[in-house]
Amino acid sequence: MTANDTRFEYHVVHLKPAFIGGISDETLQTALNTAGREGWELVQILYAQSPDLGMRLVCKRVR
């Protein structure tokens, strides 16, 4: 295996909160369903320290 070979590729989805309130369950579900249809698997959810910055979904799929 060379240095350029990787088994996985990664994709980060950034979800921003609504003006009033956070990220709705429907928004999260839609983002996960869309990524899943494209072959991405959820690895981790990262929350920002400030609720105004939203969250990031880290996904991966086999190359």
The pLDDT, as a whole number, for residue 13 is 96
H/E element, 27? helix 25-37
Rounded to two decimals, the pTM is 0.80
The whole-angstrom distance between residue 24's C-alpha and the CA centroid of its chain comes to 15
What pLDDT, on the 0 to 100 scale, is given for residue 18?
83
10-residue mean pLDDT series, the chain (63 residues): 75 90 90 97 90 89 93
**What pLDDT, on the 0 to 100 scale, is given for residue 48?**
82
Read off the tokens for 59: 């996904």
What pLDDT does 3 receive?
Answer: 58
